[in-house]
Amino acid sequence: MFKKIDDVGERSMKKIVLLGSLNMDLVITSPYMPKEGETIKGDSFMSTPGGKGANQAVAAARAGGKVSMCGCLGEDVFGSELKNSLLSSGVDCSFLRTDSQQSTGIAIIIVVDGDNRIILDSGANARLTRADVDDALSEAGPGDIFLSQLEVPHDIVDYGLKKAKGKGLTTLLNPAPAHLQCVQSFEYVDILIPNESELEILGKSSDFDTAVKNVQAAGVKKLIVTLGSKGSVLIEGAERHYIDSYKVKAVDTTAAGDTFCGYLAAGISKGVAITDAMQIASAAAALSVTAAGAQKSIPCYNSVMEFVGKE
């Protein structure tokens, strides 16, 4: 039996600094993807708090982690809703900044048969600065966790990774959406967490093993690849450790990867063995796809343990 996240004492828990995006998700279910110029009837429309950064912050907090969110919101109704969603999940919002010059980020999500297609308008997410990162890391120190993604400007993510690494934090990067520019940041990344398609882009090959070798050659020492319904795999050098998935009926996969990353960060912050943290993260991600919405679908720790107990 894997070690639970809450088996570790509160004193030993490290902080998690989350640098990333905050978006209001506008979601609609469609029978199929419309063709050019075509109008079709959808249903189940909802607006729900999202953004990869915010989703991962909520997931880490619901897993019991001590999470601070660094991000930028617009001075509008969506911004207020997003901040309130974080606060209600226990995320420290001291390092969230409001920018009056830009609207809050928006994601248009079309769900077809449980899978999704997403269109982003970065909005205020693009206004993050190095000063924002400096503030968020001001109280962090050796052993704390830094987690980011790529929905905010790459130069800010690169700066955050470099500064966090220099302060002795454990750095995690979820390279989503993937682009080759982030490869230059790999030297500051302790754990890279792509999915299969992101690995293919970063590794410049559709062959899994070749892509892994290319990413490792770029400086990645520890790689965790999420494999959807096939689970996940930890790759260190030539060693591989596979973690099985949990079989569920998918309703909406929007927050699955973010749930995995947040729960993984929480586990690491409590000193849990990385494969145990991956196992719990896998269960949490599986549970998240059984409900619609991004942050709405992210389960709390007790629900994940109850789910695991029934397996």
How many Å apart are CA 118 and CA 78, to the nearest integer? Answer: 18
Write the CA distances from 221 to 158, 184, 217, 248, 262, integer angstroms.
17, 14, 9, 32, 20
Angle formed at CA 269 by CA 266 and CA 271, multiple of 5 degrees: 115
DSSP 99-163: ETTSPPEEEEEEEETTEEEEEEE-GGGGG--HHHHHHHHTT--TT-EEEE-SSS-HHHHHHHHHH
- pLDDT given for residue 294 in this prediction: 80
The pLDDT confidence band at residue 3, using thresholds 50, 70 and 90, is low
Name the nearest CA neighbour of 225 among 265, 263, 198: 198
DSSP per-residue string spanning 244-266? -------S--TTHHHHHHHHHHH
Return the pLDDT at 10. 55
Indicate the pLDDT class of residue 233, thresholds 50, 70 and 90: very high
What's this model's pTM, rounded to 2 decimal places? 0.90
Q: State the pLDDT confidence band at 252, using cuts at 50, 70 and 90.
A: confident
Identify the residue whose tokens are 């062959």. 207
Please state whether beta strands 43-50 and 23-29 pair in parallel, antiparallel, or not at all (unpaired). Answer: antiparallel
Inter-axis angle of helices 77-88 and 52-62, nearest 10: 20
Phi, psi for residue 19 in degrees, rounded to 5: -105, 120
Residues 183-189 have a mean pLDDT of: 96
- Res 117: pLDDT: 87
| Contact between residue 157 and residue 192 where contact means Cβ atoms under 8 Å apart | no
pLDDT band at 60 (very low <50, low <70, confident <90, very high): very high
- pLDDT, position 113: 87
Rounded Cα–Cα distance for residues 147 and 154 (Å): 14
Tell me the catalytic residues: 258
Q: What mean pLDDT do residues 55-64 have?
A: 97
Q: For the segment 210-226, what is each residue's pLDDT rounded down to a tens digit?
A: 999 999 999 999 999 99
pLDDT at 245: 87
- What CATH topology corresponds to 9-21+51-98+124-310? UDP-N-acetylmuramoyl-L-alanine:D-glutamate ligase (3.40.1190)
Phi, psi of 138 (to 5 degrees): -60, -30
- pLDDT, residue 158, reads 98
Percent of residues, the chain, with pLDDT higher than 70 = 96
Distance (Å, whole) CA 161 – CA 57: 17
Neighbour count for residue 189 (Cβ, 10 Å): 25
The confidence score (pLDDT) of residue 2 equals 54
Distant-in-sequence, close-in-space partners of 1: CB < 8 Å, separation ≥ 6? none
